[in-house]
């Protein structure tokens, strides 16, 4: 049993599994998120009908090298190292140009080159025997799990971060008063929003989230999200008598009685001195996009504002957001009543690891977004010059390729992180194994962070207690323990939800009168 953990296949298994999952599921997921490239073109002679591009199935081929004479051949890692090439494979995407009601045939387009991890499912060495690997100039004991960019071997660091979409409680000090805080890092499709519910000195709850200056009163925000009656708001928080006393104070301070007044309260905060119609639209946009965005997954895919089901779906999502805020408020009051302790940020249950596949997903999402903007520009330019619209000429493959390769080559990742991609340490075999299993923390190296640098009991069996650098990186740069197994998220969320309903969980629905 233990011998399997000490084999060369296990060293970078976490990186390879993560990258393979990215190829199999997350690439298509990112394309499905984008789905349509809208343009400002009105097709000529068709009664001003719109023109757009639909994105379909994405596929990654095997790594190729294009020679000066135009011929193509298979590329292997040893050749990429010797010739200072990038070990990358072409990405093919089905794209359909739609002009009004008329859709052209889908076109399979090469949209760019994806850097391929050595040893992954897209690698030419995949499933080869030791003798075949040796024949292609590869060490049969090389664990893989790294990229080759311009002939240099680059490894993606595993990033350690606080768990997103999880309620955390803490104290803060303001004007020598203790403020009780419940916060959540709400993450959805690469966007991360910090939502905070705090109890101030007067026992009143206030909410803050991105794009809102200052704080919003909790009860008025709950009304804006669709909970009209006082009873509904209190029940969304808790039915406990002590918490009920706190909530009565909040209800007395409220200035809104209806959902419409709640929306206008948010609108006046967001867009003061604007028209009522604009304030309402702005408030609804911010509540739907910036408040707890991770709950937006409840919206059915492809639903548009003009659709009949849209209003009911958006009200359902707002109701879910109101109840989540209620849970945050309850956590806040539990902290006040000393029913729960503050959350330990260094506890490994509150941490999540971003592996190579997750990092590549973030990078691909930004890169694809850039490509779609470029395709839109190219189509609009062709239309202005009265040329025939064509997908083949509108897609410039180097736009996506450049956005994918530059962060890997420099280490400067999306979101402003540096040192994510590093030059693989080839001093000796042990240095390679250590580098492939390294975990780095996002905390600043110049701050003391004593608790974060300490060895936490929950790191037992997960993080090596002795392998860490000396100096400013001590305790912030760690390494996996030898027998660590990294669990993955659930692929089919519907299956989990159905299991919960079978166990007696009641679905959250608005009661019809």
Q: Hey, is 494 helix, strand or coil?
A: helix
- Give the range of the structural domain holding residue 499, as residue numbers without chain letter: 443-513
Tokens of 329: 């408020």
Let me know if residue 51 belongs to a domain: yes
Per the CB < 8 A criterion, the answer to whether 164 and 294 are in contact is: yes
Tokens of 71: 């011929």
Query: 405 and 340: one domain?
Result: no
220: CATH: 3.90.1110.10
Query: 176 and 301: one domain?
Result: yes
Query: 193 and 218: one domain?
Result: yes
Let me know if residue 157 belongs to a domain: no
Q: Which of 317, 350, 383 is the last residue of a domain?
A: 350
Query: 311 and 183: one domain?
Result: yes
Query: 454 and 507: one domain?
Result: yes
Q: Which of 327, 350, 373 is the last residue of a domain?
A: 350
Tokens of 471: 């100096």
Q: How far apart are CA 381 and CA 390, in angstroms?
A: 12
Q: What is the pLDDT along the chain (513 residues), one digit of tens a residue?
A: 567 777 777 888 999 999 999 999 999 999 998 888 888 887 554 455 688 888 999 999 999 999 888 888 999 999 999 999 999 999 999 999 988 778 888 899 999 999 999 999 999 999 899 899 999 999 988 999 999 999 999 999 999 999 999 999 998 888 888 889 999 999 998 889 999 999 887 888 999 999 888 899 999 999 999 888 888 899 889 888 888 888 888 888 888 888 999 999 999 999 888 899 999 999 999 999 999 999 988 887 767 777 778 888 888 899 999 999 999 999 999 998 889 999 999 999 999 999 999 999 999 999 999 999 999 999 999 888 888 888 888 899 899 999 999 999 999 998 888 899 999 999 999 999 999 999 999 888 888 889 999 999 999 999 999 999 999 999 999 999 988 888 877 667 778 888 888 998 887 764 433
Q: Of 296, 282, 279, which is closest to residue 211 (Cα–Cα)?
A: 282
Query: 422 and 452: one domain?
Result: no
Looking at the 3D structure of the chain, how many domains does it have?
A: 3
Q: How far apart are CA 29 and CA 378, in angstroms?
A: 25
Tokens of 422: 């590093």
Per the CB < 8 A criterion, the answer to whether 156 and 120 are in contact is: no
Query: 208 and 223: one domain?
Result: yes
Q: Which of 382, 410, 438 is the last residue of a domain?
A: 438
489, HSE (Cβ side, Cα atoms, 13 Å)? 16
106: CATH: 3.90.1100.10
Q: How far apart are CA 104 and CA 444, in angstroms?
A: 52
Query: 209 and 239: one domain?
Result: yes
Query: 416 and 503: one domain?
Result: no
Query: 177 and 320: one domain?
Result: yes
Let me know if residue 214 belongs to a domain: yes
Cα-flanking dihedrals φ and ψ of residue 52, to 5°? Answer: -145, 170
Residue 308 DSSP class = T
Q: Of 103, 139, 4, 122, which is closest to residue 58 (Cα–Cα)?
A: 122
């Amino acid at each position: 049993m233990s011998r399997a953990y000490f084999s060369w296949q296990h060293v970078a298994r976490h990186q390879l599994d993560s990258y393979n999952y990215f190829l199999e599921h997350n690439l298509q997921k990112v394309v499905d998120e984008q789905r349509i490239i809208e343009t400002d073109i009105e097709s000529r002679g068709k009664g001003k009908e719109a023109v757009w591009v639909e994105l379909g199935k994405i596929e990654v081929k095997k790594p190729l090298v294009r020679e000066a004479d135009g011929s193509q051949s298979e590329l292997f890692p040893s050749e990429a190292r010797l010739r200072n090439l990038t070990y990358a494979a072409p990405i093919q995407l089905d794209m359909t140009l739609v002009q009004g009601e008329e859709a052209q045939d889908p076109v399979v387009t090469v949209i760019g080159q994806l850097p391929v991890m050595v040893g992954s499912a897209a690698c030419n060495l995949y499933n080869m025997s030791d003798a075949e690997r040796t024949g292609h100039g590869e060490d049969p004991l090389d664990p893989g799990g790294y990229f080759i960019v311009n002939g240099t071997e680059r490894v993606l660091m595993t990033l350690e971060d606080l768990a997103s979409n999880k309620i955390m409680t803490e104290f803060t000090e303001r004007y020598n008063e203790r403020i009780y805080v419940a916060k959540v890092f709400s993450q959805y499709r690469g966007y991360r929003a910090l939502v905070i519910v705090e109890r101030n000195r007067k026992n009143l709850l206030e909410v803050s989230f991105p794009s809102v200056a200052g704080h919003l009163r909790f009860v008025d925000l709950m009304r804006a999200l669709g909970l009209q009656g006082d009873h509904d708001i209190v029940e969304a928080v808790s039915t406990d008598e002590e918490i009920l006393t706190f909530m009565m104070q909040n209800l007395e301070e409220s200035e809104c009685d209806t959902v419409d007044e709640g929306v206008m309260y948010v609108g006046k905060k967001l867009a003061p001195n604007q028209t009522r119609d604009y304030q309402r639209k702005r408030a609804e946009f911010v509540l739907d996009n910036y408040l707890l965005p991770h709950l937006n997954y409840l919206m059915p895919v492809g639903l548009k504002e003009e659709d009949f089901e849209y209003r009911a779906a958006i009200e359902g999502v707002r109701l879910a957001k109101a109840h989540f805020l209620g849970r945050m408020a309850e956590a806040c009051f539990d902290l006040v009543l000393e029913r729960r302790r503050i959350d330990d940020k260094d506890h490994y249950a509150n941490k999540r690891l971003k592996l190579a596949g997750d990092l590549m997903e973030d990078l691909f999402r930004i890169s694809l977004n850039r490509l779609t903007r470029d395709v839109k520009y190219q189509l609009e330019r062709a239309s202005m010059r009265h040329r025939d619209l064509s997908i083949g000429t509108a897609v410039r493959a180097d736009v996506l390729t450049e956005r994918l390769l530059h962060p890997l080559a420099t280490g400067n990742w999306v979101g402003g992180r540096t040192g994510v991609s590093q030059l693989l340490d080839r001093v000796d075999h042990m240095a390679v194994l250590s580098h492939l299993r390294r975990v780095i923390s996002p905390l600043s190296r110049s701050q003391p962070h004593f608790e974060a640098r300490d060895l936490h009991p929950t790191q037992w069996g997960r993080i090596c207690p002795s392998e860490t650098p000396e100096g400013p990186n001590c305790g912030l740069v760690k390494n996996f323990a030898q027998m660590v197994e990294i669990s993955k998220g659930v692929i089919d969320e519907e299956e989990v939800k159905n299991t919960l309903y079978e166990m007696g969980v009641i679905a959250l629905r608005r009661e019809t009168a």
